[in-house]
Structure 1
Amino acid sequence: MNAPERLDVVDLTVTHGAVRAVDGVSLTVHPGEAVVLLGESGSGKSTLVRTVLGLPGPTARVGGGVLLSGTDLRALDERALSGVRGRRIGYVPQDPDAGLDPLRRIGSQLVEVLLRHRVAAGRRAARAAVPALLESAGLADPERAARSHPHELSGGQRQRAVIALALACSPGLLIADEPTTALDALVRARVLDLLAASGASLLVVTHDMGVARRIGHRVAVMRAGRIVETGPAEQILTAPRHPYSAALVAAQPGALR
Protein backbone atom coordinates (compact mmCIF):
# COMPACT_ATOMS: atom_id res chain seq x y z
CA MET A 1 0.00 0.00 0.00
CA ASN A 2 0.97 3.66 -0.20
CA ALA A 3 2.70 5.14 2.83
CA PRO A 4 0.29 6.44 5.50
CA GLU A 5 -0.46 10.12 4.93
CA ARG A 6 -0.47 13.01 7.37
CA LEU A 7 -3.55 15.24 7.38
CA ASP A 8 -3.44 18.80 8.72
CA VAL A 9 -6.65 20.81 8.96
CA VAL A 10 -5.69 24.38 9.81
CA ASP A 11 -8.21 26.94 11.14
CA LEU A 12 -10.89 25.63 8.78
CA THR A 13 -14.18 27.50 8.46
CA VAL A 14 -17.17 26.50 6.34
CA THR A 15 -20.13 28.85 6.06
CA HIS A 16 -23.48 28.24 4.37
CA GLY A 17 -25.36 31.53 4.20
CA ALA A 18 -25.54 32.83 7.76
CA VAL A 19 -24.67 29.45 9.29
CA ARG A 20 -21.06 28.67 10.18
CA ALA A 21 -21.06 24.86 10.10
CA VAL A 22 -17.32 24.58 10.81
CA ASP A 23 -15.82 27.31 12.95
CA GLY A 24 -12.04 27.57 13.07
CA VAL A 25 -11.22 23.84 13.35
CA SER A 26 -7.60 22.69 13.49
CA LEU A 27 -6.92 18.96 13.55
CA THR A 28 -3.98 16.68 12.72
CA VAL A 29 -3.98 12.99 11.83
CA HIS A 30 -0.42 11.68 12.08
CA PRO A 31 0.78 8.92 9.71
CA GLY A 32 -0.65 5.59 10.82
CA GLU A 33 -2.84 7.16 13.50
CA ALA A 34 -6.58 6.61 13.99
CA VAL A 35 -8.36 9.81 15.00
CA VAL A 36 -12.04 9.63 15.89
CA LEU A 37 -14.11 12.79 15.40
CA LEU A 38 -16.87 12.46 17.96
CA GLY A 39 -20.05 14.49 18.33
CA GLU A 40 -23.81 14.62 17.96
CA SER A 41 -25.62 14.89 14.64
CA GLY A 42 -25.46 18.47 13.40
CA SER A 43 -22.17 19.25 15.11
CA GLY A 44 -20.39 19.82 11.79
CA LYS A 45 -18.47 16.53 11.54
CA SER A 46 -19.70 15.51 8.09
CA THR A 47 -19.27 19.04 6.73
CA LEU A 48 -15.68 18.97 7.94
CA VAL A 49 -14.82 15.71 6.18
CA ARG A 50 -16.62 16.69 2.96
CA THR A 51 -14.57 19.89 2.93
CA VAL A 52 -11.36 17.93 3.46
CA LEU A 53 -12.38 15.90 0.39
CA GLY A 54 -12.97 19.10 -1.58
CA LEU A 55 -16.75 18.61 -1.60
CA PRO A 56 -18.12 21.32 0.70
CA GLY A 57 -21.12 22.07 -1.54
CA PRO A 58 -21.72 24.76 -4.17
CA THR A 59 -22.97 27.41 -1.70
CA ALA A 60 -20.20 26.96 0.86
CA ARG A 61 -17.66 29.65 1.67
CA VAL A 62 -14.46 28.03 2.91
CA GLY A 63 -11.50 29.49 4.78
CA GLY A 64 -8.37 27.99 6.27
CA GLY A 65 -6.16 25.18 5.03
CA VAL A 66 -6.21 21.44 4.33
CA LEU A 67 -2.81 19.79 3.84
CA LEU A 68 -2.21 16.17 2.86
CA SER A 69 1.42 15.31 3.62
CA GLY A 70 2.27 18.89 2.69
CA THR A 71 0.06 19.09 -0.42
CA ASP A 72 -2.32 22.05 -0.19
CA LEU A 73 -5.60 20.44 -1.22
CA ARG A 74 -7.43 23.75 -1.33
CA ALA A 75 -5.04 24.98 -4.02
CA LEU A 76 -5.86 22.08 -6.36
CA ASP A 77 -8.39 22.29 -9.17
CA GLU A 78 -11.17 19.70 -9.46
CA ARG A 79 -9.23 17.53 -11.89
CA ALA A 80 -6.27 17.29 -9.54
CA LEU A 81 -8.55 16.72 -6.54
CA SER A 82 -10.34 13.88 -8.29
CA GLY A 83 -6.95 12.23 -8.65
CA VAL A 84 -6.31 12.59 -4.92
CA ARG A 85 -9.73 11.20 -3.97
CA GLY A 86 -9.55 7.43 -4.27
CA ARG A 87 -5.80 7.33 -4.96
CA ARG A 88 -4.44 9.03 -1.83
CA ILE A 89 -7.64 9.43 0.18
CA GLY A 90 -10.22 6.67 0.47
CA TYR A 91 -13.74 7.59 1.56
CA VAL A 92 -16.38 5.43 3.23
CA PRO A 93 -19.69 7.34 3.21
CA GLN A 94 -22.28 7.18 5.97
CA ASP A 95 -24.78 5.39 3.72
CA PRO A 96 -23.18 2.59 1.68
CA ASP A 97 -25.90 2.99 -0.93
CA ALA A 98 -24.60 6.51 -1.57
CA GLY A 99 -21.22 5.06 -2.49
CA LEU A 100 -22.52 2.38 -4.86
CA ASP A 101 -24.15 2.62 -8.28
CA PRO A 102 -27.39 0.60 -7.94
CA LEU A 103 -27.42 -0.28 -11.65
CA ARG A 104 -23.94 -1.78 -11.86
CA ARG A 105 -22.39 -4.92 -10.44
CA ILE A 106 -19.94 -4.51 -7.58
CA GLY A 107 -17.07 -5.98 -9.59
CA SER A 108 -17.64 -3.53 -12.44
CA GLN A 109 -17.48 -0.61 -10.02
CA LEU A 110 -14.19 -1.84 -8.59
CA VAL A 111 -12.74 -2.28 -12.08
CA GLU A 112 -13.66 1.31 -12.91
CA VAL A 113 -11.85 2.63 -9.82
CA LEU A 114 -8.71 0.62 -10.56
CA LEU A 115 -8.63 1.82 -14.17
CA ARG A 116 -9.46 5.44 -13.38
CA HIS A 117 -6.49 5.71 -11.03
CA ARG A 118 -4.24 3.54 -13.22
CA VAL A 119 -3.64 1.02 -10.46
CA ALA A 120 -4.22 -1.93 -12.78
CA ALA A 121 -2.48 -2.37 -16.13
CA GLY A 122 -5.60 -2.83 -18.22
CA ARG A 123 -9.11 -4.19 -17.81
CA ARG A 124 -8.07 -7.84 -17.58
CA ALA A 125 -5.69 -7.12 -14.69
CA ALA A 126 -8.35 -5.01 -12.97
CA ARG A 127 -10.91 -7.83 -13.20
CA ALA A 128 -8.38 -10.31 -11.83
CA ALA A 129 -7.76 -8.06 -8.81
CA VAL A 130 -11.42 -7.77 -7.81
CA PRO A 131 -11.94 -11.02 -5.83
CA ALA A 132 -8.89 -10.40 -3.63
CA LEU A 133 -10.04 -6.86 -2.90
CA LEU A 134 -13.50 -8.04 -1.86
CA GLU A 135 -12.07 -10.89 0.20
CA SER A 136 -9.71 -8.49 1.99
CA ALA A 137 -12.76 -6.36 2.88
CA GLY A 138 -14.32 -9.34 4.64
CA LEU A 139 -16.72 -10.68 2.02
CA ALA A 140 -16.84 -14.45 2.44
CA ASP A 141 -17.85 -15.20 -1.18
CA PRO A 142 -16.03 -12.54 -3.23
CA GLU A 143 -16.88 -14.07 -6.60
CA ARG A 144 -20.62 -13.90 -5.86
CA ALA A 145 -20.27 -10.39 -4.44
CA ALA A 146 -18.47 -9.24 -7.59
CA ARG A 147 -21.36 -10.52 -9.75
CA SER A 148 -24.01 -8.94 -7.51
CA HIS A 149 -25.83 -5.64 -7.78
CA PRO A 150 -25.91 -3.68 -4.51
CA HIS A 151 -29.53 -4.60 -3.73
CA GLU A 152 -28.58 -8.29 -3.78
CA LEU A 153 -26.25 -7.82 -0.79
CA SER A 154 -27.08 -7.29 2.88
CA GLY A 155 -26.39 -3.97 4.58
CA GLY A 156 -23.19 -5.29 6.12
CA GLN A 157 -22.05 -6.73 2.80
CA ARG A 158 -22.71 -3.42 1.04
CA GLN A 159 -20.69 -1.61 3.70
CA ARG A 160 -17.80 -3.99 3.15
CA ALA A 161 -18.09 -3.49 -0.62
CA VAL A 162 -17.79 0.27 -0.06
CA ILE A 163 -14.70 -0.34 2.07
CA ALA A 164 -13.24 -2.43 -0.77
CA LEU A 165 -13.83 0.50 -3.14
CA ALA A 166 -12.26 2.91 -0.67
CA LEU A 167 -9.18 0.70 -0.24
CA ALA A 168 -8.85 -0.42 -3.87
CA CYS A 169 -6.00 1.98 -4.62
CA SER A 170 -4.26 1.49 -1.25
CA PRO A 171 -4.76 5.10 -0.11
CA GLY A 172 -2.59 6.48 2.67
CA LEU A 173 -5.56 8.17 4.36
CA LEU A 174 -8.98 6.63 4.91
CA ILE A 175 -11.92 8.83 5.93
CA ALA A 176 -15.02 7.04 7.20
CA ASP A 177 -18.22 8.98 7.96
CA GLU A 178 -20.41 7.05 10.44
CA PRO A 179 -19.29 3.73 8.92
CA THR A 180 -21.29 1.52 11.30
CA THR A 181 -24.71 3.20 11.21
CA ALA A 182 -27.60 0.68 11.05
CA LEU A 183 -25.29 -2.34 11.38
CA ASP A 184 -25.81 -4.97 14.04
CA ALA A 185 -23.19 -5.31 16.78
CA LEU A 186 -21.29 -8.23 15.24
CA VAL A 187 -21.07 -6.72 11.75
CA ARG A 188 -20.21 -3.35 13.27
CA ALA A 189 -17.25 -4.83 15.14
CA ARG A 190 -16.01 -6.58 11.99
CA VAL A 191 -16.26 -3.40 9.90
CA LEU A 192 -14.30 -1.44 12.51
CA ASP A 193 -11.63 -4.12 12.63
CA LEU A 194 -11.33 -3.95 8.83
CA LEU A 195 -10.74 -0.21 9.00
CA ALA A 196 -8.17 -0.59 11.77
CA ALA A 197 -6.31 -3.30 9.82
CA SER A 198 -6.11 -1.25 6.61
CA GLY A 199 -2.71 0.24 7.42
CA ALA A 200 -3.89 3.71 6.38
CA SER A 201 -4.12 6.76 8.58
CA LEU A 202 -7.74 6.97 9.73
CA LEU A 203 -10.17 9.81 10.33
CA VAL A 204 -13.42 8.26 11.54
CA VAL A 205 -16.53 10.36 12.12
CA THR A 206 -19.07 9.04 14.61
CA HIS A 207 -21.50 9.85 17.39
CA ASP A 208 -20.91 6.38 18.87
CA MET A 209 -18.58 6.21 21.86
CA GLY A 210 -18.03 2.51 21.19
CA VAL A 211 -16.41 3.25 17.82
CA ALA A 212 -13.94 5.57 19.52
CA ARG A 213 -13.26 2.98 22.18
CA ARG A 214 -12.57 0.20 19.70
CA ILE A 215 -10.26 1.84 17.15
CA GLY A 216 -9.30 5.36 18.23
CA HIS A 217 -5.78 6.37 19.16
CA ARG A 218 -6.92 9.92 19.65
CA VAL A 219 -10.37 11.50 19.95
CA ALA A 220 -11.49 15.00 18.97
CA VAL A 221 -14.88 16.06 20.32
CA MET A 222 -16.86 18.43 18.08
CA ARG A 223 -19.77 20.62 19.10
CA ALA A 224 -21.51 23.39 17.13
CA GLY A 225 -18.76 23.49 14.52
CA ARG A 226 -15.84 23.63 16.96
CA ILE A 227 -13.41 21.16 18.51
CA VAL A 228 -14.05 21.47 22.24
CA GLU A 229 -11.61 18.80 23.43
CA THR A 230 -8.97 16.53 21.97
CA GLY A 231 -6.66 13.97 23.52
CA PRO A 232 -5.74 10.30 23.78
CA ALA A 233 -8.78 8.05 23.38
CA GLU A 234 -8.36 6.51 26.83
CA GLN A 235 -8.29 9.91 28.52
CA ILE A 236 -11.30 11.30 26.65
CA LEU A 237 -13.37 8.15 27.21
CA THR A 238 -12.57 7.72 30.90
CA ALA A 239 -11.77 11.20 32.25
CA PRO A 240 -13.07 13.88 29.85
CA ARG A 241 -12.35 17.45 30.89
CA HIS A 242 -15.00 19.33 28.90
CA PRO A 243 -18.62 19.15 30.16
CA TYR A 244 -19.91 18.30 26.68
CA SER A 245 -17.45 15.41 26.34
CA ALA A 246 -18.47 14.19 29.79
CA ALA A 247 -22.13 14.30 28.78
CA LEU A 248 -21.43 12.24 25.65
CA VAL A 249 -19.60 9.61 27.69
CA ALA A 250 -22.33 9.48 30.32
CA ALA A 251 -25.06 9.15 27.69
CA GLN A 252 -23.72 5.88 26.24
CA PRO A 253 -23.15 3.40 29.06
CA GLY A 254 -23.87 0.45 26.77
CA ALA A 255 -21.55 1.44 23.94
CA LEU A 256 -19.58 -1.21 22.04
CA ARG A 257 -16.49 -2.32 23.95
Structure 2
Amino acid sequence: MTPRDPGATGRPGLLVEELSVDYPGRDSPVHAVDAVSLSVEPGGALVLLGESGSGKTTLARTVLGLPGRNARVTGRIRLGATDLRALTEREFSRVRGSRIGYVPQDPTGSLDPLRRIGPQITEVLRRHRVVTTRRAARDAVPGLLTTAGIPEPERIARSFPHELSGGLRQRAAIALAVACEPELLIADEPTTALDALVRSQILDLFGGLRSRHGIAVLLVTHDLAVARRVGGQVAVMRAGRIVESGPADQVLSRPAHHFTAELVAARAGARR
Protein backbone atom coordinates (compact mmCIF):
# COMPACT_ATOMS: atom_id res chain seq x y z
CA MET A 1 0.00 0.00 0.00
CA THR A 2 1.14 3.54 -0.73
CA PRO A 3 1.43 5.84 2.32
CA ARG A 4 -1.03 8.72 2.21
CA ASP A 5 -0.28 12.04 3.86
CA PRO A 6 -3.02 12.37 6.51
CA GLY A 7 -3.11 16.12 6.04
CA ALA A 8 -3.00 16.14 2.26
CA THR A 9 -6.70 16.71 1.65
CA GLY A 10 -7.16 19.61 4.04
CA ARG A 11 -10.69 18.33 4.81
CA PRO A 12 -12.18 15.51 6.88
CA GLY A 13 -11.91 12.05 5.41
CA LEU A 14 -15.57 11.61 6.42
CA LEU A 15 -18.08 14.31 7.26
CA VAL A 16 -21.63 13.49 8.40
CA GLU A 17 -24.06 16.34 9.05
CA GLU A 18 -27.55 16.07 10.58
CA LEU A 19 -27.96 12.48 9.40
CA SER A 20 -31.30 10.84 10.19
CA VAL A 21 -32.45 7.35 9.21
CA ASP A 22 -36.11 6.39 9.71
CA TYR A 23 -37.95 3.15 9.00
CA PRO A 24 -41.71 2.61 8.71
CA GLY A 25 -43.28 1.44 11.95
CA ARG A 26 -46.70 0.03 12.75
CA ASP A 27 -47.96 3.29 14.25
CA SER A 28 -45.15 5.79 13.59
CA PRO A 29 -41.69 5.89 12.02
CA VAL A 30 -38.78 4.27 13.86
CA HIS A 31 -35.97 6.81 14.29
CA ALA A 32 -32.89 4.59 14.07
CA VAL A 33 -30.49 7.53 13.64
CA ASP A 34 -31.58 10.98 14.75
CA ALA A 35 -29.78 14.12 13.52
CA VAL A 36 -26.24 12.79 13.99
CA SER A 37 -23.20 14.84 13.00
CA LEU A 38 -19.61 13.57 13.13
CA SER A 39 -16.31 13.62 11.28
CA VAL A 40 -13.19 11.48 10.94
CA GLU A 41 -9.93 13.02 9.80
CA PRO A 42 -7.59 11.19 7.40
CA GLY A 43 -5.43 8.97 9.60
CA GLY A 44 -7.82 9.43 12.51
CA ALA A 45 -10.21 7.11 14.32
CA LEU A 46 -13.74 7.55 15.58
CA VAL A 47 -15.30 4.84 17.75
CA LEU A 48 -19.10 4.62 17.76
CA LEU A 49 -19.81 3.22 21.21
CA GLY A 50 -23.21 2.04 22.41
CA GLU A 51 -25.49 -0.81 23.34
CA SER A 52 -27.28 -3.05 20.85
CA GLY A 53 -30.08 -1.11 19.17
CA SER A 54 -28.46 2.29 19.73
CA GLY A 55 -28.23 2.97 15.97
CA LYS A 56 -24.47 2.71 15.57
CA THR A 57 -24.54 -0.10 12.97
CA THR A 58 -27.35 1.61 11.05
CA LEU A 59 -25.26 4.78 10.93
CA ALA A 60 -22.20 2.89 9.68
CA ARG A 61 -24.16 1.01 7.02
CA THR A 62 -25.80 4.25 5.86
CA VAL A 63 -22.34 5.74 5.32
CA LEU A 64 -21.66 2.62 3.22
CA GLY A 65 -24.78 3.37 1.19
CA LEU A 66 -26.56 0.31 2.59
CA PRO A 67 -29.23 1.60 4.99
CA GLY A 68 -31.65 -1.19 4.11
CA ARG A 69 -35.01 -1.39 2.39
CA ASN A 70 -37.63 1.30 3.04
CA ALA A 71 -35.13 3.53 4.86
CA ARG A 72 -35.79 7.26 4.71
CA VAL A 73 -32.44 9.05 4.89
CA THR A 74 -31.89 12.78 5.31
CA GLY A 75 -28.78 14.84 5.97
CA ARG A 76 -25.35 15.01 4.35
CA ILE A 77 -22.53 12.48 4.03
CA ARG A 78 -19.28 13.53 2.37
CA LEU A 79 -16.11 11.58 1.72
CA GLY A 80 -13.43 14.10 0.92
CA ALA A 81 -14.97 16.28 -1.78
CA THR A 82 -17.59 13.69 -2.78
CA ASP A 83 -21.23 14.04 -1.76
CA LEU A 84 -22.12 10.39 -1.15
CA ARG A 85 -25.85 11.14 -0.87
CA ALA A 86 -25.83 12.46 -4.45
CA LEU A 87 -24.45 9.24 -5.96
CA THR A 88 -26.53 6.70 -7.85
CA GLU A 89 -26.28 3.08 -6.68
CA ARG A 90 -24.04 2.30 -9.64
CA GLU A 91 -21.72 5.19 -8.75
CA PHE A 92 -21.74 4.18 -5.08
CA SER A 93 -20.81 0.60 -5.99
CA ARG A 94 -17.57 1.99 -7.41
CA VAL A 95 -16.88 3.92 -4.20
CA ARG A 96 -17.72 0.97 -1.96
CA GLY A 97 -14.66 -1.28 -1.93
CA SER A 98 -12.35 1.26 -3.53
CA ARG A 99 -12.61 4.43 -1.43
CA ILE A 100 -14.50 2.84 1.47
CA GLY A 101 -13.45 -0.51 2.89
CA TYR A 102 -15.70 -2.56 5.16
CA VAL A 103 -14.82 -5.14 7.82
CA PRO A 104 -17.88 -6.94 9.24
CA GLN A 105 -18.17 -8.61 12.63
CA ASP A 106 -18.19 -12.03 10.98
CA PRO A 107 -15.56 -12.31 8.21
CA THR A 108 -17.74 -14.85 6.41
CA GLY A 109 -19.84 -11.81 5.51
CA SER A 110 -17.09 -10.64 3.14
CA LEU A 111 -15.21 -13.87 2.32
CA ASP A 112 -16.62 -16.38 -0.17
CA PRO A 113 -16.33 -19.80 1.54
CA LEU A 114 -16.03 -21.58 -1.82
CA ARG A 115 -13.03 -19.62 -3.11
CA ARG A 116 -9.42 -19.35 -2.05
CA ILE A 117 -8.31 -16.12 -0.38
CA GLY A 118 -5.92 -15.00 -3.15
CA PRO A 119 -8.43 -15.05 -6.02
CA GLN A 120 -10.93 -13.12 -3.90
CA ILE A 121 -8.41 -10.31 -3.45
CA THR A 122 -7.34 -10.31 -7.11
CA GLU A 123 -10.99 -10.00 -8.15
CA VAL A 124 -11.40 -6.84 -6.02
CA LEU A 125 -8.21 -5.34 -7.44
CA ARG A 126 -9.34 -5.94 -11.01
CA ARG A 127 -12.97 -4.94 -10.45
CA HIS A 128 -11.88 -1.52 -9.20
CA ARG A 129 -9.09 -1.29 -11.78
CA VAL A 130 -6.29 -0.93 -9.24
CA VAL A 131 -4.22 -3.13 -11.56
CA THR A 132 -4.67 -3.90 -15.24
CA THR A 133 -3.55 -7.52 -15.55
CA ARG A 134 -4.22 -10.79 -13.75
CA ARG A 135 -0.52 -11.24 -13.10
CA ALA A 136 -0.19 -7.81 -11.47
CA ALA A 137 -3.19 -8.61 -9.28
CA ARG A 138 -1.71 -11.96 -8.23
CA ASP A 139 1.64 -10.33 -7.50
CA ALA A 140 -0.05 -7.77 -5.22
CA VAL A 141 -1.75 -10.36 -2.99
CA PRO A 142 1.20 -11.38 -0.74
CA GLY A 143 1.98 -7.76 0.08
CA LEU A 144 -1.63 -7.05 1.00
CA LEU A 145 -1.80 -10.10 3.25
CA THR A 146 1.47 -9.02 4.88
CA THR A 147 0.03 -5.54 5.44
CA ALA A 148 -2.83 -7.25 7.29
CA GLY A 149 -0.32 -8.98 9.56
CA ILE A 150 -0.65 -12.43 8.01
CA PRO A 151 2.38 -14.75 8.19
CA GLU A 152 3.13 -17.08 5.28
CA PRO A 153 1.07 -14.97 2.86
CA GLU A 154 1.63 -17.30 -0.11
CA ARG A 155 0.18 -20.24 1.82
CA ILE A 156 -2.77 -18.21 3.10
CA ALA A 157 -3.49 -16.96 -0.44
CA ARG A 158 -3.93 -20.60 -1.50
CA SER A 159 -6.20 -21.40 1.46
CA PHE A 160 -9.97 -21.50 1.71
CA PRO A 161 -11.57 -19.46 4.54
CA HIS A 162 -12.60 -22.59 6.48
CA GLU A 163 -8.94 -23.66 6.65
CA LEU A 164 -8.01 -20.56 8.65
CA SER A 165 -8.42 -19.65 12.31
CA GLY A 166 -10.88 -16.92 13.28
CA GLY A 167 -8.07 -14.40 13.66
CA LEU A 168 -6.59 -15.21 10.25
CA ARG A 169 -10.01 -15.03 8.61
CA GLN A 170 -10.53 -11.58 10.10
CA ARG A 171 -7.09 -10.47 8.90
CA ALA A 172 -7.92 -11.80 5.43
CA ALA A 173 -11.16 -9.77 5.50
CA ILE A 174 -9.11 -6.70 6.44
CA ALA A 175 -6.69 -7.36 3.55
CA LEU A 176 -9.73 -7.54 1.25
CA ALA A 177 -11.12 -4.29 2.69
CA VAL A 178 -7.88 -2.32 2.24
CA ALA A 179 -6.82 -3.86 -1.10
CA CYS A 180 -7.76 -0.72 -3.04
CA GLU A 181 -6.14 1.67 -0.53
CA PRO A 182 -9.41 3.20 0.69
CA GLU A 183 -9.67 6.59 2.32
CA LEU A 184 -12.08 5.24 4.94
CA LEU A 185 -12.27 1.87 6.69
CA ILE A 186 -15.54 0.99 8.45
CA ALA A 187 -15.26 -1.86 10.97
CA ASP A 188 -18.42 -3.17 12.63
CA GLU A 189 -17.64 -5.05 15.89
CA PRO A 190 -14.55 -6.57 14.18
CA THR A 191 -13.12 -8.25 17.30
CA THR A 192 -16.21 -9.62 19.06
CA ALA A 193 -15.58 -13.30 18.32
CA LEU A 194 -11.81 -13.18 18.91
CA ASP A 195 -9.77 -14.00 22.00
CA ALA A 196 -7.99 -11.23 23.92
CA LEU A 197 -4.59 -11.65 22.25
CA VAL A 198 -5.94 -11.71 18.68
CA ARG A 199 -8.28 -8.81 19.52
CA SER A 200 -5.30 -6.75 20.63
CA GLN A 201 -3.37 -7.63 17.46
CA ILE A 202 -6.28 -6.65 15.19
CA LEU A 203 -6.69 -3.29 16.93
CA ASP A 204 -2.94 -2.67 16.63
CA LEU A 205 -3.29 -3.45 12.92
CA PHE A 206 -5.94 -0.74 12.57
CA GLY A 207 -3.56 1.67 14.30
CA GLY A 208 -0.83 0.80 11.81
CA LEU A 209 -3.14 1.34 8.84
CA ARG A 210 -3.99 4.77 10.21
CA SER A 211 -0.44 5.89 10.95
CA ARG A 212 1.34 4.39 7.93
CA HIS A 213 -1.30 4.81 5.24
CA GLY A 214 -3.46 7.70 6.43
CA ILE A 215 -6.67 5.64 6.41
CA ALA A 216 -9.55 7.08 8.44
CA VAL A 217 -11.19 4.43 10.66
CA LEU A 218 -14.82 4.39 11.80
CA LEU A 219 -15.18 1.53 14.29
CA VAL A 220 -18.45 0.30 15.79
CA THR A 221 -18.34 -1.44 19.18
CA HIS A 222 -20.19 -1.99 22.45
CA ASP A 223 -16.92 -2.78 24.26
CA LEU A 224 -15.30 -0.01 26.30
CA ALA A 225 -11.99 -1.87 26.35
CA VAL A 226 -11.93 -1.82 22.54
CA ALA A 227 -12.78 1.90 22.52
CA ARG A 228 -9.93 2.61 24.95
CA ARG A 229 -7.47 0.58 22.90
CA VAL A 230 -8.37 2.22 19.59
CA GLY A 231 -8.08 5.71 21.10
CA GLY A 232 -8.78 8.69 18.88
CA GLN A 233 -12.29 10.08 19.26
CA VAL A 234 -15.32 8.38 20.82
CA ALA A 235 -18.99 9.12 20.11
CA VAL A 236 -21.43 7.50 22.53
CA MET A 237 -24.77 6.61 20.95
CA ARG A 238 -28.10 6.01 22.66
CA ALA A 239 -31.50 5.69 20.98
CA GLY A 240 -30.17 6.96 17.67
CA ARG A 241 -28.46 10.07 19.02
CA ILE A 242 -24.91 10.94 20.04
CA VAL A 243 -25.12 11.85 23.71
CA GLU A 244 -21.42 12.54 24.26
CA SER A 245 -18.29 12.75 22.14
CA GLY A 246 -14.67 13.72 22.49
CA PRO A 247 -11.17 12.27 22.94
CA ALA A 248 -11.39 8.63 24.06
CA ASP A 249 -9.35 9.07 27.23
CA GLN A 250 -11.44 12.05 28.32
CA VAL A 251 -14.87 10.56 27.56
CA LEU A 252 -14.11 7.16 29.10
CA SER A 253 -12.22 8.46 32.14
CA ARG A 254 -14.30 11.54 32.94
CA PRO A 255 -17.71 11.02 31.31
CA ALA A 256 -19.97 14.07 31.24
CA HIS A 257 -23.23 12.30 30.35
CA HIS A 258 -24.97 10.00 32.82
CA PHE A 259 -25.42 7.27 30.21
CA THR A 260 -21.68 7.16 29.48
CA ALA A 261 -21.01 7.09 33.21
CA GLU A 262 -23.35 4.10 33.53
CA LEU A 263 -21.50 2.26 30.74
CA VAL A 264 -18.15 2.93 32.42
CA ALA A 265 -19.49 1.86 35.84
CA ALA A 266 -20.96 -1.35 34.38
CA ARG A 267 -17.64 -2.20 32.77
CA ALA A 268 -15.79 -1.56 36.05
CA GLY A 269 -18.28 -3.74 37.94
CA ALA A 270 -17.89 -6.58 35.42
CA ARG A 271 -14.11 -6.64 36.00
CA ARG A 272 -14.48 -7.13 39.78
Residue 135 (1) aligns with residue 135 (2)? no
Write the deviation string for residues 147-180 of structure 1: whole angstroms up to 9, x where unpaired: 1111111111110000000111111111111110
Q: CA deviation at 1:255?
A: 8.8
Aligned to 1:110: 121
Identity of aligned residues (%): 66
Aligned to 1:216: 231
Paired residues for 1:9-48 under 5 Å: 9-17=16-24, 18-48=29-59
Specify the SS of the correspondent of 1:252: helix
Q: CA deviation at 1:110?
A: 0.1
Task: Write the letter of the residue equivalent to 1:196.
Answer: G
TM (norm. structure 1) is 0.96
Structure 2 unaligned residues grouped into runs of 5+: 7-11
Specify the SS of the correspondent of 1:197: helix
Aligned to 1:50: 61
In structure 2, C-alpha distance between the alignment counterparts of 1:252 and 1:168, rounded to whole Å: 36
In structure 1, C-alpha distance between the alignment counterparts of 2:269 and 2:131, rounded to whole Å: 44
2:160 to 149, 154, 159: 149
Residue 120 (1) aligns with residue 120 (2)? no
Report the RMSD for the aligned CA atoms in angstroms: 1.5
Paired residues of 1:208 and 1:255 also in contact (CA < 8 A):
no
In structure 2, C-alpha distance between the alignment counterparts of 1:29 and 1:218, rounded to whole Å: 8
Residue 245 (1) aligns with residue 221 (2)? no
Structure 1 unaligned residues grouped into runs of 5+: none
In structure 1, C-alpha distance between the alignment counterparts of 2:155 and 2:248, rounded to whole Å: 38
Residue 165 (1) aligns with residue 190 (2)? no
Aligned to 2:83: 72
Task: Write the letter of the residue equivalent to 2:22.
Answer: T
Paired positions, count: 256
TM (norm. structure 2) is 0.91
Aligned to 1:8: 15
User: CA 1:255/1:54 → structure 2, altered by over 3 Å: closer, same or farther?
Assistant: farther
Aligned to 1:176: 187
